[in-house]
Chain A
Amino acid sequence: MMRRHAALLMRIAILAGLIVLLEVACRTGVINPLTILPPSDMFAAMIDQVGSGELNASIATTFSTIFLAFALAVGCGTVTGALIHRSTRLRDVVDPLLASYYSVPTFIFYPLLVALLGIGKAPLVVLGVLSAAPAVVISTLAGLDGVAPVLMKLARVHRLTPARTLRWIVLPAALPHLFTGFKLALSYALIGVIAGEFILSGTGLGYAISFAYQSFDNRAMYGAMLFVLLVAVTANGILYVWEGRLARRRSRG
């Protein structure tokens, strides 16, 4: 308990130190403020932009796209993982593909996706799902592999129906792994969607950053960047805390 808190304080101190360092470097001219805005200015820019409402449409588009991609990745990934788990033959075929999946830069398919699905939400959602779903599949497989055979035997001793076995035994037993998958899926969906907007889109936060970059609007660019960063970190932080709560129950202490 003490150690966890100490580590947390240390982490915050390091981050705060780096931010202060950057601030000082910018203010004293060690770093050209035209290249990087001082963090305090970035923050002010973010408040301005988000407060003014000019980003509202982008925020709504981007986060609804991310959420859609995340939800689809979790749904499809879990079901696909469960199906693969059921068939040993399919598993033998698919395992190496899954293991090497993330060596493929999915982004290169973006032009193809646009050609197939047009410009708009659809190719971005697909891109997000393509980045996120395999992580869910992999962690679902790991989770199902981890269900102790003796617990499946227990289900038979208690004459549980398949649905109850799933709900009472398999899902809770696999939950820690599933959760890791969901966490990764959220990050990957976010990266996939925002990067997609960046490359080839007319809406969204990724596009807003890219547009500001191309029009030399540093304030707008850094403001939007900081906003994306904070949202990503917060979302992940919430999952992290939740996961920690689940995990702590199962381990000592």
Chain B
Amino acid sequence: MRAEVTGEAHVSLNEVVRRYDGPPAVQALGPIDLDIRRGEFFSIVGPSGCGKSTLLDAVSGLVRPTSGIAHFEGKELSGEVPDGVGVVFQEDSSMPWLTVRQNVAFGLRTSGLPKTEVSDRVDHAVNFMGLSQFSDHYPAQLSGGMRQRVCIARTLVLRPRLILLDEPFGALDQQTRLLMGDELLRLWRETSATVLLITHALDEAVMLSDRVGVMSARPGRFIDMVETGWPRDRDSRVIADPAFGALTGRLWTSLREESLKTMGRAA
């Protein structure tokens, strides 16, 4: 079954449009055509308010497109998050009343897995994200970066085949962000999951991704698609690679005009 799907798109969007009924009616997104390959690390950059998060919600199944179809593993998405999809949000979504371990285990509460299996998976995710010393701490005792790791670990226990990240490092400082990027790459390699990352940081997009899609101002459409050509075995040190500057520059060239439009709209 898996072999059949390989080579096909893991996620596929056809003419996806999202409109919000007014007044005034707003077309937030699309039309979008996008295929994400299985195992690909795909990032989306775009001016603020261009519908990036709406696109992510459509891919996760949280919102149904107004028109067009979204597929995950060949099945149409229908307003519910399918099994195999993990989502990490921009805001801290750790639960302050649970310890780190309990937070991570939350992902499996409804799984019906045997206790030992749950505890194995939680141990693994907690270790993987470097949280084992803090497993009995409460989120309030951790830094912002560590709390975001808790949220990633909570997604990881589900063994997602598609991981969606909505500006997960948006609230972190630059150094922490780069290091978290390394963790994310390691996670991506070891789980062989497909990753869709939304970010406003061009350098982050270039450093992490196999492919970066640039979106236009609202209603967001893809106006550029950049293949980075990095090896699978990479880390944050690619920012010293000469190609890095060129790629980031190309993204900015595509994005500058669109960002100006957004600014003009806001002013």
Residues of A within 8 A of B (CB): 148, 150-151, 153-154, 156-160, 164, 168-169, 172-173, 175, 249-253
Contact = CB atoms under 8 A, between A and B. Distances in A.
A201 to B, nearest CB: 42
Given A148-B91, A154-B89, A250 B62 contact: no
Interface in B82-106: 85-87, 89, 91-93, 95-98, 106
Interface string B108-132: 0110000000000000000000000
B145 to A, nearest CB: 16
A157 B141 contact: no
B80 interface: yes
Contacts, number: 54
Nearest to B164: A157
Given A249-B138, A251-B140, A150 B81 contact: no
Given A250-B97, A250-B140, A157 B87 contact: yes
A252 B140 contact: yes
Interface of B: 60, 62, 80-81, 85-87, 89, 91-93, 95-98, 106-107, 109-110, 138, 140-141
A141 to B, nearest CB: 20
B151 to A, nearest CB: 9
Nearest to A149: B91
B141 to A, nearest CB: 6
A9 B240 CA distance: 59
Nearest to A154: B93
Given A153-B89, A172-B97, A159 B110 contact: yes
Contacts of A158: 81, 106-107, 109-110
Given A156-B81, A157-B81, A158-B107, A150 B89 contact: yes
Contacts of A148: 91, 93
Given A156-B81, A157-B81, A159-B80, A168 B109 contact: yes
Contacts of A168: 106, 109
A153 B89 CA distance: 9
B91 A150 contact: yes
Contact of B95 (A156, A172, A251, A253): A172
A91 to B, nearest CB: 23
A153 B91 CA distance: 11
B62 A173 contact: no
